[in-house]
Structure 1
Amino acid sequence: MAEDVLAEIVATVLEVQVSEGDQVDAGDSLVLLESMKMEIPVLAEVSGTVTAVHVAPGDQIQAGHLIAHID
């Protein structure tokens, strides 16, 4: 089951914790965001292979921004 991982909030990307080709399980942390001085992990909702990462540390993202794709 493929999934696009989207940002739910306006935030800054602090850390990208996966790379293309990585295997992830549901619940694994993909990126760490910062918003309003809070650190917010973005978790995989499905297990699979990360086929694309669309953010980098320091990026400013908006709600709905594509973070990653998992197949």
Structure 2
Amino acid sequence: MKEITSSMAGTVLNIMVGGGDEITSGQEVLMIESMKMEIPIESQIEGKVSEVKVNIGDFVNEGDVLLVLE
């Protein structure tokens, strides 16, 4: 099991992937708003999304798990 975590604290604005999606390294998977800036979260790993752990509007902290990959 592989995880994609948040690189900073902020609010989830958009989720670009869902369960079952294949993602590649460097692909934008979420958008987070932090300090009034929109920050894309890119995957550093490849895999198939098995679980999305956040919803749009959720506040996340640095290190929180956003996605779980198979």
**For residue 28 of structure 1, what is the amino acid of its counterpart?**
Q
Structure 1 unmatched ranges of 5 or more: none
Is it true that 1:18 corresponds to 2:7 in the alignment? no
1:44 shift after superposition: 1.0
1:3 shift after superposition: 2.1
Structure 2 unmatched ranges of 5 or more: none
Deviation string for 1:14-47 (max 9, x for gaps)? 0011001001111111100000011111111111
CA distance in 2, matches of 1:44, 1:64: 14
Runs of 4+ displaced beyond 2 Å: none
TM-score, normalization by structure 2: 0.92
| Percent identity (aligned) | 31
TM-score, normalization by structure 1: 0.91
